[in-house]
Chain A
Amino acid sequence: MEYFVQQLINGLTLGSIYGLIAIGYTMVYGIIGMINFAHGDIFMIGSFIALTMFLVLTSVLGFTFLPVVLLIVLIVAMLFTSAWGWTVERLAYRPLRGSFRLAPLITAIGMSILLQNFVRVTQGARVKPLPPQIQGGITLFEGNAETGAIVVQLSYMQLIIIVTTVVLMTIFSLIIAKTPLGRSQRACEQDRRMAALLGVNVDRTISLTFLMGAALAAVAGLMFLLLYGVIDFYIGFLAGIKAFTAAVLGGIGSLPGAMLGGLLIGLIEVFWSGYFTVEYKDVAAFSILAIVLIFLPSGLLGRPEVEKV
């Protein structure tokens, strides 16, 4: 039981990170119907920016108060990563709008390779370790040596990740639901040409969607850095695929679906590692994706696709 609760907490934490990345996939897919394959690498870029900014603040500028440092790192990482997201869209996807569907996917794969190797060349191929910054936590269950119960702890780190995710999810859901930007996003999602005819600046809306997705990926990057303490240029690939799996699982195009899918993928991965074998956790996540898609082809919360002739 205690073990189960601990795994549940771990799974929710990991799932939050996947969910944050998955939102970027799902928003972009919803609005222009393409798999932004480079999004996982935007996440990686975000975590590198966060790491470098953290070092700048702590070792060069001499900041010591951790909450302020993390807040500045978060904001800077979101801003700079958004710039990367915007540039990727501008260079690789916008020229191919209206081209056939495989074309942007190929540039996306090319961008992914390009970003990975850019970071590898400029920052080196070795992993970058960061010692744990936030320690301690809330003990939920005391351990008991006689009954064999283990200590169940919700660390502050996990708490911060889960809370930040919930807050950001709420903010972004409100943006989509209430603001003019969200309205034009939904309009573009339904019918881009009609939206353009009614005065929505489609290109700008798409750019802003990429900005938002990249900003959330940067948050996920910072979380990942703090949680695992180790990053390298290759983390974006697997995290990206998992997050895309999450987006598909939740029903691509749906924001709550992406979050739900992310949490499910995180839970599946953690529980599989906890109860079965660590080696096959990715296999488990992908197999469940395949099974869900066979029985629920539009995902858990997705709308069924209507084929128009």
Chain B
Amino acid sequence: MATATDNRIADSVRDAFIAALLVGVLGFFFLALRTEIAPGGLALSTRWGLWFSAIAIVFVIRLALNLFLFKANRPVRTGPSTFAKIGASLPDLSGWTGTIMLVVAIALPFLVTTFLPAQQRQFIDLMILILTYVMLGWGLNIVVGLAGLLDLGFVAFYAIGAYSFALLAHYFDFSFWMALPVAGILAAFWGMILGFPVLRLRGDYLAIVTLAFGEIIRVVLLNWYDFTGGPNGISGIPKPTFFGLDFGRGEGNFAAVFGMPYSTIHRFIYLYFIILLLAVITYFVTNRLRRLPIGRAWEALREDEIACRSLGINTTNTKLTAFAIGAMFGGFAGAFFATRQGFVSPESFTFIESAIILAIVVLGGLGSQFGVVVASTVMIGGMEILRNLGFLKGAFGPDFDPVQYRMLIFGLAMVLIMVWKPRGLVTTREPTAVLKEKKKIGADLVAQGEGH
């Protein structure tokens, strides 16, 4: 018994030593050495302290993990995990959870203005941002989660929606409410244009072509200077009005008509409710569509395309509708983004946005509507918290800039969450239609080799 323990400690130390050695090798050119632009070319500077401390930290952490966490003789857990149980108890947002969450969402801006008046603007802005990503996530969920088509260029439709509204407002003086349906229709139209040629491709080929499409749209927006303003973008996009009432100061505006004292926060609360409404519409439409034959066909397509075809489902039409409807919601969200910012430029529609939206959908658990909410709150909220870590300057010195580390931590979180919970935070992937009774081994417990 004693030898077993000794062996374990020895193994742990050896393993930690290897990990530290690896960090030493990997970090040598990045942590220990640094190239800097100096007069007359590049200059090298060394940071041995940083390098050694990185090695030491990794050694200690790895050793601690080996000794206390990764115990070899841990009992094998059987049955569904805690997350799976949570997922199963919250199958979708149609029950009481959804109602409660909607009530909370409606009440939130009022709670914030009452209890946190100092930071109300910041909070409501953050909530608008989270809801925008929830909506985008739900839109992409139709394509990736329900129909199982891997789309890496979803941001293209977001961009099309935003630019549709911006251009319509710029050239034809459209208001937000007039342009919103147009933006959605145009995005859906582009979704179909993209869909027609590429939908016969297999999963990964589809992924790369959609990625390429996203880049093409961005490059065109960037270089079509006469029409889109190129890198300067389009500014002066009108804000949405409340039945024709503006949110400015003075007579005949929202505050004056309703006899309230003027406050800038009204506009933000209004924007919040618009995106909440749009998100709820996305949610309801998706949920209704899931119960229609087309929604069933999407899920069937995701599970097994060959079986689908042999049962006489028109796979092209099924994929096209998924693409177009997902794109339409992306377009709506884009139009909202344009009006919220008042300014659009191609910089907002880089690949990283697509990656964030896809990460939200996958980390939330493919096909789970609730998961999208959880994942966007965690990811977007987490990124905002990192933005506000200025107090760490006290601990790490004045040169420490937390914003720099934001994307680093974001990437790390994406990897860690995925390795820890490969099936997403909330896992409900059971097909909505069941023949007679649920099988004991559900689809969500079978490792899915095919059909994503």
B124 an interface residue at 8 Å Cβ cutoff?
A: no
**Can you report 18 A-B residue pairs in the complex whose CB atoms are below 8 A from each other?**
A35-B207, A53-B29, A60-B44, A91-B415, A101-B203, A101-B452, A103-B362, A110-B359, A114-B408, A117-B408, A118-B30, A128-B37, A245-B212, A280-B220, A283-B220, A289-B208, A289-B209, A293-B198
Q: What's the minimum C-beta distance from A250 to chain B, rounded to whole angstroms?
A: 13
Q: Which of B144, B211, B213, B408 has the most CB of A within 10 A?
A: B408
Contact call B30/A123, Cβ cutoff below 8 A: yes
Which of chain A's residues have a CB closer than 8 A to the CB of B366? 100, 102
Which residues of chain B come closer than 8 Å to A287, judged between CB atoms?
216
- Asked whether, in the complex, the Cβ of B42 is within 8 Å of the Cβ of A128, the reply is yes
Top 4 nearest A-B pairs by Cβ distance?
A110-B414, A114-B411, A113-B411, A286-B212
Q: Is the CB of B216 within 8 A of A286?
A: yes
Question: B306: which of A52, A126, A280, A309 is its contact (CB, 8 Å)?
Answer: A309
Tell yes or no: A99 within 8 A of B by CB.
Answer: yes
Q: Which residue of A lies closest to B309 (CB)?
A: A307
Question: For the complex, is B419 an interface residue (Cβ under 8 Å from A)?
Answer: yes
Which A residues touch B205, using CB under 8 A?
248, 293, 297
Q: How far is the CA of A184 from the CA of B144 in the complex (A)?
A: 34
Chain A CB within 8 A of B448 CB: yes
Is residue A237 within 8 Å, beta carbon to beta carbon, of the partner chain? yes
Stretch at the interface among B20-28, B60-68, B287-295: B20-28
A99:B447 contact, CB within 8 angstroms: yes
Interface residue? B363 (CB, 8 A): yes
- Is B405 close to A, CB under 8 A? yes
Contact string against A for B residues 402-429, beta-carbon threshold 8 Å, 1 for contact and 0 otherwise = 0011011011111100110011000000
Q: Which of A84, A237, A244 contacts B26 (CB 8 A)?
A: A84
- Given A123-B30, A128-B37, A282-B215, A113–B209 Cβ distance below 8 Å? no
A55 interfacial by beta-carbon distance below 8 Å = yes
Measured CB to CB, the nearest residue on chain A to B144 is A102
Separation of A152 and B222 alpha carbons in the complex (Å): 33
Indicate if A105 sits at the interface (CB-CB under 8 A). yes
The answer to whether A241 and B352 touch (CB under 8 A), given A122-B30, A280-B223, is no
- Complex Cα distance, B412 from A60, in Å, reads 34
List CB contacts (< 8 Å) of A266-307 with chain B. Answer: 277, 279-280, 282-283, 286-287, 289-290, 293-294, 297, 305, 307
Given A114-B412, A114-B415, A248-B208, A103 and B404 contact (CB-CB distance below 8 Å) = no
Q: Does B35 sit within 8 A of A, measured CB to CB?
A: yes
Contact with B along A107-141 (1 / 0, CB 8 A): 10111111111111111101011110000000000
Chain B residues, CB < 8 A from A111? 411, 415
Interface status of B442 (Cβ within 8 A of chain A): no
Q: Which residues of B contact A59 (CB under 8 A)?
A: 43-44
- Given the interface pairs A248-B208, A297-B201, the reply to whether A49 lies near B29 with Cβ below 8 Å is yes
- In the bound complex, residues from chain A placing their C-beta under 8 Å from that of B204 are 29, 33-35, 252
> In the complex, what residues of A have CB within 8 A of residue B351's CB?
237
Instruction: Please give me the residue from chain B that is nearest to A114 by CB atom.
Output: B411
A117 lies within 8 A of B223 (CB)? no
Assess whether B355 is interfacial by the CB under 8 Å rule: yes
Residues of A contacting B39 in the complex (Cβ-Cβ under 8 angstroms):
none
B34: interface (CB < 8 Å): yes
Pair A113/B29 contact, Cβ less than 8 Å:
no
With an 8 A cutoff between CB atoms, is A92 at the interface?
Answer: yes
Are A123 and B198 in contact, CB atoms less than 8 angstroms apart?
no
Do B414 and A113 touch across chains, with their CB atoms under 8 A apart? yes
B22-56 near A? 1/0 per residue, CB < 8 Å: 10011011110111110001111000000000000
Residues of B within 8 A of A244 (CB): 208
Whether A120 touches B404, Cβ cut-off 8 Å, given contacts A286-B215, A293-B201, is: yes
Report the minimal beta-carbon distance from B60 to chain A, rounded to whole angstroms. Answer: 18
List A contacts of B413 (CB < 8 A). Answer: 110
Query: Is A113's CB under 8 angstroms from B42's CB?
Result: no
Taking CB as reference atom, which chain A residue is nearest B307? A309
Q: Which residues of A contact B405 (CB under 8 A)?
A: 117, 121
